[in-house]
Amino acid sequence: MVNGMTRRFRWAGVLILAAFNTPAVAAPCDPEENTWIPSRYYPPGQTVFHQGDWYQSRELHEGKTPGADFEWERLASVPDCGVGRDDSNVAERKSEGGVNHQPQAPADAGETPVKTPNERPQACKEPGRWSFGGSYTVGQMAVHEGQTYRAIRPSNGQMPAMSQPPHWQPVDDPCSNGAENAD
């Protein structure tokens, strides 16, 4: 009786180990679920299907056409959309009907004075100088040629007042947190 139970537990252990050690089946990407959308932000490594070819994003960008811009690398074969791939964008596309929502600005982006019951207000920090090599998120500010700008899109080297579509918005008072732009 004990011998029979020991064998069963051994087989159960073997089956459990086999289940955890078996690689999951890779599935090729579906072109319809990965179609390029011009208004969408694409992080590095994101794959899309455009005009019969597969492309992978090299860096964070929006509106760059696959095959026409450096930001995309053409793939030689259909990418794997199986295990380990983040398909959150696919669910977003399905639920939103392909509509892209702008990323929200971080809560501390404006560095406005903060007052708590037992503390004095903190002073607003002057934004740093804009850098071509910098990477900016929505809401971050930078000074370029004496003018303060707030990022309205993620920016990787797009110069304030020069890039299209615009990535920056001029700001009169960096400590107002955008209140002057609330038209």
Domain boundaries, the chain: 31-96, 103-183
pLDDT of amino acid 132 = 80
pTM above 0.95, yes or no: no
Q: What is the pLDDT of residues 15-72, one digit of tens each?
A: 565 555 545 556 788 888 889 888 888 888 889 999 999 999 888 888 788 888 788 8
Evaluate whether 31-96 and 103-183 have a shared fold: yes
Quote the pLDDT of residue 7: 64
Q: Does domain 103-183 have CATH number 3.20.10.10?
A: no
> What is the model's pLDDT at position 71?
83
Closest CA to 49 of 25, 18, 28: 28
CATH number of 31-96: 2.10.10.20
- State the amino acid at position 16 in one-letter form: I
Conformational region of residue 110, where left means phi above 0, alpha means psi within -120 to 50, and beta covers everything else: alpha
Asked if residue 127 has pLDDT above 50, the reply is: yes
- pLDDT at res. 3: 62
Tokens at residue 66, please?
């696959």
Rounded Cα gap, residues 173 and 183, in angstroms: 15
